[in-house]
Amino acid sequence: MKDQDYADKAIREELQKVRDEYNLLYSLYNKEIADRKLAEDLLVLQNDHLTKFNQFSVDLAMLSSRESLEGLIVSRLKEISGARVAMISTYDESSRTISTNRVETDPGLLRSFLALVGSEHTHRFEISDDLYVKMIKDVYKVGKNMHEISPGSFPKPLAIAIQALFGVDRFIGLSYVIEGKLFGTTLLGMTKGVPDPPRQFMESLVFLAAVSLRRRQAEEALRNSYDVLNKITDQVPGVVYQYRLYPDGHSAFPISSAGMYDIYGVTPEDVREDASPVFTRLHPDDFQMIADTIAESARSQTFYHSEFRVILPGKGVRWRSCNAKPSLLEDGSTLWYGIITDITDRKLVEEELIKAKEKAEESDRLKSAFLANISHEIRTPMNGILGFAELLKEPGLTGAEQLQYLGIIEKSGDRMLGIINNIIDISKIESGQMKVILTETNINELITYLYEFFMPEVENNGMQIFMHPGLPAHLAIITTDREKLYAILANFVKNAVKYAHQGTIELGYEKQDGHLEFYVKDNGPGIPADRHQAIFERFVQGDISVKRTIQGAGLGLSISKAYAAMLGGKIRVESEPGKGAAFFLTIPH
């Protein structure tokens, strides 16, 4: 019996051992199932967090300039955290104030909240020292951006309104801090029974939001800087620019003000990547000079300066002045910072000053020659008058000798009177006192009178004069200033007699389209082409040398030119050395 009892006991013990092992295996099996389920749940949660994180990143990256960055951040954080209400505020470091600018909650609750705290939900308040330490120093020190906030840390009316309306029992504060700088905060109002969101996951989201806020703040600062710079450069005449010359030879204007269009006729966008549109505007004669100057400035890294011309559509040739300072970049490029201005008016003034200087020098030279001439011209007839007046005192003069002397005195007086009259006429023309007196004039009679008046002098010189009226008598009456027309033609004939010495003189006129053209032609020595314009200036003759034998002060053609302008016409000369000269007067008819 004892043996049987012992056997039963052993069996029971073995069965118990098997049961214990079974229970252990069963327990291990259940634990493995639970662990696997926990791992699967954790993996699902991690995948969910990763999906939400990636989506949050995409949303921030795809945010358009018209959408609210704060609105996107606070709505996503509210959704992910399960908060009843979420608010986002921006931080002003200079005043250490928080400005609440977005509240996310149920629309009905939001209306009640706004009715309680006011329709303006952008509220500014100073951060308390405790809260500042919490959000900045303590949070950043431990590297965590998520923390609990006591309701007493906020303005009491705001905290009471949130607790009463939204039924929250705690707040979670999120500080957007990067490298010790606060960009903003989010306040999450959590209700009882809703667990806090995973800290590590929320930390990642908050850091991502902080990066976006910092980027936007930097972009706004940069945009404001550009706005200020543009406002300043828009007030600067010309164009303010950066010009970059790359090692391969191509160039661009990475930055240029709106004045680029006024200077070169192209927009800043046209030359931001390629400067060639600017170079097409350069004057061909200045292109190589500019290229050489740029190359030398780049080679020696010395200050760049040039004055050059451009040709702009619809504006023609304009002058530009460029000043720029170079700097050498790591890739071998040279970057100039400079300004280009329009100096066209200055160049025109300079050109006018040069012309005025040259004209003044020429006028001074001509006046010197005129004074020499006029002194000679006045002294010669004066000597004749005084000399022959003295001879008239001699006793025993015959009547013929007396008449001869008186004739010389008379001619000398007429010559001096003519010189004085020319000087007076020039003075009247200069002062605007010379008037035009229009009368009906028979130009055939005027031509005939000139022909008959000069014929004796012409024949005495061994020459011939011919007359060529261009209209029949009944059509030869015009309205003009007869005296000025006569003076012009008389001067033409007088010069022909003075210079020709031989051959023939032709005096006449022709009717052409809308005008009459008078002419006087001779077979004299002619006038060089480079003197065709000069002879119509005051005090100038075909030869202004004082060592000449031709009488005259050089005023006749200048007076004739002024008279022609008063009659609405003009005069010109056609002549070559050795082939005579032809003077023309054209007046309206």
The CA distance from 227 to 211, in Å, is 24
Residue among 338, 337, 305, 303 at smallest CA distance from 321 = 305
The CA distance from 136 to 145, in Å, is 9
CA 579 to chain centre: 55
Contact 214, 184 (CB under 8 A): no
Q: Which long-range contacts (CB under 8 A, 24 or more apart) does 307-311 make?
A: 307/343, 307/347, 308/282, 308/283, 309/282, 309/283, 309/285, 310/263, 310/264, 310/281, 310/282, 310/283, 311/281, 311/282, 311/283
Contact 207, 139 (CB under 8 A): no
CA 58 to chain centre: 43
Tokens of 161: 């309104």
Tokens of 49: 């967090």
The CA distance from 357 to 411, in Å, is 40
What is the per-residue DSSP string for 251-308? EEEEEE-TTHHHHHSS-GGGGSS--HHHHTTB-HHHHHHHHHHHHHHHHHT--EEEEE
The CA distance from 105 to 82, in Å, is 11
Contact 515, 586 (CB under 8 A): yes
Compute how many other C-beta atoms are within 10 angstroms of the C-beta atom of residue 326. 21
| pLDDT in 10s for each residue of the chain, 589 residues | 556 666 667 767 777 776 776 677 667 666 666 666 666 656 665 677 778 878 888 888 887 766 688 888 888 898 888 888 888 888 887 777 777 778 888 877 767 766 666 655 455 666 666 666 665 555 545 455 666 666 555 666 666 776 777 778 888 888 888 777 778 888 888 888 888 888 888 888 888 888 888 888 888 887 777 777 777 767 778 899 999 999 999 999 998 988 999 999 999 999 999 999 999 999 999 999 999 999 999 999 999 999 999 999 989 999 999 999 999 999 999 999 999 999 999 999 998 999 888 888 877 776 776 676 667 667 777 877 888 888 888 888 888 888 888 888 887 788 788 778 777 777 777 677 788 889 999 999 999 999 998 898 898 888 999 999 999 988 999 999 998 898 899 889 988 988 887 789 999 999 988 899 999 999 888 888 888 887 877 655 544 443 343 444 457 888 888 889 999 999 999 998 988 999 999 999 8
